[in-house]
DNA sequence: AATGAATGAGGGTTCATTCAT
DNA sequence: GATGAATGAACCCTCATTCAT
């Protein structure tokens, strides 16, 4: 009981600190202090800092995938399903700025780099939902005839940048703008 | 008298190492070793690691701006000028993967974060060409009526992601794909 | 749990080395080596070299004050009380040459300089016993009518120089000479 | 011609900087910069930092001795000659706070320590005038019968401390106070 | 399971000194 | 004589990880 609690507490605290201060700006001792555990305790649950960081990422990733799947219409017009998905992810990131910051940190660190490399080799695609959607869209000839990975970048990238702008206070991602931008993304790939 | 030579060599080597290993993965001693100078020599040309990193970024930025400006048609249909610009930046980044990696590192480090903040406050916009183009496009009502920063994210973000995919080997950004993707970006924002 | 032991050991060793070699002549690593601890261990007990140096001084100061207070006659002829005090401090310094050397180092370092400045501003007088004695003596008109700080310098300075001479082997501060010199100090200030 | 000028300039500047910032607070490059010479130039005139520091001290020492000798009455009552000498040195130090600070730095550094040791062994006494005066005074039985070195400390030490207090702003050493304190010093040693 | 004192390799930076020009 | 770019040993400090309790 306490075990789970402690592990969870460590992860929560670590996410917060790492997202805000960067991986190199947070010593293990800082995490331990804020989580009210001893430094050694962290090593009972995680083999090391690397594992903690990696596991933290996997958890967020899992959460995002779950969020995307939840209530996703497997039928209906492609455009609507696309807008549903992109809107969903946008809202999730806007509502979870810490997690967004964390993902960015991770992706732009050696961890993320090597992860991408591993996935390239293993063909493991975590963004299965999007990919499945795109595959279907390609088969239906409703989107442009370009590599699926390009479709992905064309639509996901803007969303990520927009969230960053939103968090930094450059724009306010309200429902109206979410609608407009996700539609723009669709315009980018639709045939 | 070898000032220029040594300074240049240090910057070249630093760019390479930092781009590949991340800012925290490269000790000053490593840069010195690869540049065939003593550690202290670096400090003759740069006040510290921070300054080296920052200066390296400013240099690349300057280069990109110059590249964009060079031969840019100030007249003609908006779409063509947009495609010219996006194509140009795409080719530059594809041709300079190291510089691309470096910019990414920088932007996602505390340096980049604070730089963005500074620029937000000071309204200094380094991507002036793009912004000027967008402002003109907005005035001409040829693009969607959304915040200019959103227009920017909608078009720049995909390009960056595509370059990353290209460097990682997911796609090959040949002329054909460059054309297709930049056109897609235009579709995203055109009215 | 060896907290106290290690901290004490570090302080003892540091006092020794710093007194003999000067603050700049003793790297933290030297202290660590002689104290049989790792460098990092010192930083568990002291925030840095500065704090170690300062704390070391405060400890000696405290000890001296305690020594002076101990058994000090609050009544009786001024001259006798003066001789008691000066004799006491002389004996302490002769018996603790390392601490004497350390105090000298400290007083003549930036630490000591700024400390003096702070105390000047804050009117915090650590040599309270002496000062109290002088104030009483001034009120009783048994000493010359010159600034109290001058009285202080006239009596303390010779003692310090004498101890230094003693440590260097120029003279031997035995009981006879202690008596003679402290009496001479009294002669200097008595009306 | 220029040689002498340069050497002098270096020494002047070094004195100033070293007195104010301490031996470890002044890199050779700083001295060179303020003296408007290249770093290497300093090494043309001085074997190294150590020699520069030592030579600087010897120069001041020589100057003080000269000042003391100048106009010193070799005849007359002992007390008057003593007051003349102590007053002279007091005024010199008050008028040359930088040199005073430098001497203090030097005396409390490893340089000074080893110098004192050397002189102890070699019996070289630089303060010849004072010593000669004391020897005469001892022979005349006008001062107490204590080791000559103790007489020296009893009279020189207070002066030094007073000058320090003056420089730090604790007291103002005007002519009146100079008279009072030097007389007090005489009271300390007179029989 | 939990602790946290202890470790020590490794990092950024400084600066006295040298030497080719 | 004069220069100042170049050197690299040495310093202070951090922090991931371990292990005795």
d(CA A134, CA A186): 11
Q: Which of residues 37-66 of C touch strand E (CB under 7 A)?
A: 37-41, 43-45
CB contact under 8 A, C170 and D120: yes
Residue D52's nearest nucleotide, by CA–C1', is E16
A117 pLDDT exceeds 50? yes
The answer to whether the CB of B77 falls within 8 A of the CB of B134 is: no
> How does residue C170 score in pLDDT terms, banded at 50, 70 and 90?
confident
The distance from CA B5 to its chain's CA centroid, rounded to whole angstroms, is: 24
Q: Is the CB of B40 under 7 A from strand E?
A: yes
Q: Which residues pair with D143 in a beta bridge?
A: D190
The pair of structure tokens assigned to C39 is 């460098």
State whether residue C17 sits within 8 Å of chain D by CB.
no
Backbone φ and ψ for A4, nearest 5 degrees, come out as -55, -45
> How does residue D1 score in pLDDT terms, banded at 50, 70 and 90?
very low
The answer to whether the CB of D62 falls within 8 A of the CB of D11 is: no
d(CA D37, CA D16): 16
> How does residue B126 score in pLDDT terms, banded at 50, 70 and 90?
low
Average pLDDT over residues D9-34: 96
Burial class for C18, CB neighbours closer than 10 Å (0-12, 13-18, 19+):
buried
Residue nearest to nucleotide F20 (CA to C1'): C1
pLDDT at A123: 59
- Averaged confidence pLDDT in chain C: 92
Q: Which residues pair with D190 in a beta bridge?
A: D143
- Averaged confidence pLDDT in chain D: 92
Instruction: Enter the pTM of the model.
Output: 0.92
Q: How confident is the model over A74-114, as pLDDT tens digits?
A: 888 999 999 999 999 999 999 999 999 999 999 989 888 88
d(CA A15, CA A12): 5
* Mutation for C interface: D154, D155, D156, most C CBs within 10 A: D154
Q: Do chains D and B touch (3 or more CB pairs under 8 A)?
A: no
Find all residues with CB under 8 Å of B191, minimum gap 6, and list them. B141, B142, B143, B144, B145
The answer to whether the CB of C90 falls within 8 A of the CB of C159 is: yes
The answer to whether the CB of A46 falls within 8 A of the CB of A115 is: no
| Chain B environment of A189 (Cβ under 8 Å) | 184
User: Which segments of A96-174 does DSSP mark as H helices, in order?
Assistant: 97-107, 110-122, 128-139, 148-168
Residue B1's nearest nucleotide, by CA–C1', is F5
Chain A: closest CA distance from residue B102 (Å): 11
Average pLDDT over residues C158-170: 93
pLDDT at D170: 86
pLDDT at C125: 58
C2 pLDDT exceeds 60? no
d(CA C33, CA B141): 75
Residue C42's nearest nucleotide, by CA–C1', is E6
Average pLDDT over residues C110-129: 76
Q: How confident is the model over A58-83, as pLDDT tens digits?
A: 999 999 999 999 888 888 899 999 99
Neighbours of chain C (3+ CB pairs under 8 A): D
State whether residue C158 sits within 8 Å of chain D by CB.
yes
The pair of structure tokens assigned to D184 is 């007090």
Among left, alpha and beta (phi > 0; psi -120 to 50; other), residue B36 is left
What one-character DSSP code corresponds to residue A126?
Answer: S
d(CA C35, CA D139): 53
> How does residue D100 score in pLDDT terms, banded at 50, 70 and 90?
very high
pLDDT at C113: 83
Question: What's the CA angle centered on B67, arms B65 and B69, to 5 degrees?
Answer: 70
Find all residues with CB under 8 Å of B2, minimum gap 6, and list them. none
Q: CATH code for D1-46?
A: 1.10.10.60
Which own/partner contact pairs does A13-22 have at CB distance under 8 Å and 24+ positions apart? A14/A52, A14/A53, A14/A56, A15/A56, A15/A60, A15/A98, A15/A99, A15/A102, A16/A98, A18/A53, A18/A56, A18/A102, A18/A105, A19/A98, A19/A99, A19/A101, A19/A102, A19/A105, A20/A98, A20/A101, A22/A105, A22/B109, A22/B110
C10 pLDDT exceeds 60? yes
d(CA D83, CA D80): 5
pLDDT at D59: 96
> How does residue C131 score in pLDDT terms, banded at 50, 70 and 90?
confident
Average pLDDT over residues D40-56: 97
Of A140, A19, C21, which is closest to residue D114 (Cα–Cα)? C21
d(CA A177, CA B144): 12
Q: How many Å does it take to go from CA A58 to C1' E11?
A: 30
d(CA A42, CA A26): 14
Domain boundaries, chain D: 1-46, 57-189
> How does residue C98 score in pLDDT terms, banded at 50, 70 and 90?
very high
% of chain B exceeding 90 in pLDDT: 78
* Mutation for B interface: A103, A143, A150, A178, most B CBs within 10 A: A150
pLDDT at D91: 97
Residue with tokens 């595959």: A135
Neighbours of chain B (3+ CB pairs under 8 A): A
User: Which segments of chain D does DSSP mark as H helices, in order?
Assistant: 2-21, 28-34, 39-45, 49-69, 78-95, 97-107, 110-122, 128-139, 148-168, 175-189
B157 pLDDT exceeds 90? yes
pLDDT at A1: 45
Residue nearest to nucleotide E11 (CA to C1'): B27
Residue with tokens 């539609």: A183
- The domain made up of D57-189 has a fold known as Tetracycline Repressor; domain 2 (1.10.357)
3-state helix/strand/coil string of chain C: CCHHHHHHHHHHHHHHHHHHHCHHHCCHHHHHHHCCCCHHHHHHHCCCHHHHHHHHHHHHHHHHHHHHHCCCCCCCCHHHHHHHHHHHHHHHHHHCHHHHHHHHHHHCCHHHHHHHHHHHHHCCCCCHHHHHHHHHHHHCCCECCCCHHHHHHHHHHHHHHHHHHHHHCCCCCCHHHHHHHHHHHHHHHEC
Q: How confident is the model over A124-144, as pLDDT tens digits?
A: 556 678 888 999 999 999 999
- CB atoms closer than 10 angstroms to residue B10: 23
- Averaged confidence pLDDT in chain A: 92
Residue with tokens 């030094």: D160
> How does residue A2 score in pLDDT terms, banded at 50, 70 and 90?
low
Of A162, D162, C53, which is closest to residue B153 (Cα–Cα)? A162
Burial class for A70, CB neighbours closer than 10 Å (0-12, 13-18, 19+):
exposed
- CB atoms closer than 10 angstroms to residue A4: 9
Tell me the CA distances in angstroms from B166 to B19, B20, B133, C31, D30, one per residue in order: 16, 16, 27, 54, 51
């Amino acid at each position: 009981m306490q075990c789970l609690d402690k592990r969870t507490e460590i992860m929560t605290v670590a996410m917060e600190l790492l997202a805000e201060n960067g991986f190199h700006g947070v010593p293990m001792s800082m995490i331990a202090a804020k989580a009210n555990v001893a430094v050694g305790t962290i090593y009972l649950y995680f083999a090391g800092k690397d594992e903690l960081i990696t596991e933290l990422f996997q958890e967020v990733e899992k959460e995002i995938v779950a969020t995307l799947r939840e209530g996703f219409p497997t039928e209906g017009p492609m455009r609507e399903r696309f807008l549903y998905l992109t809107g969903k992810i946008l809202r999730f990131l806007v509502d979870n700025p810490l997690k967004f910051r964390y993902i960015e940190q991770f992706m732009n660190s050696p961890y993320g780099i090597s992860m991408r490399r591993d996935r390239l080799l293993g063909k493991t695609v975590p963004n299965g939902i999007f990919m499945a959607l795109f595959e279907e869209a390609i088969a239906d000839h409703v989107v442009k005839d370009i590599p699926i990975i390009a479709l992905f970048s064309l639509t996901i990238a803007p969303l990520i940048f927009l969230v960053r702008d939103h968090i930094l206070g450059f724009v306010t991602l309200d429902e109206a703008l979410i609608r407009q931008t996700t539609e723009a993304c669709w315009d980018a790939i639709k045939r």
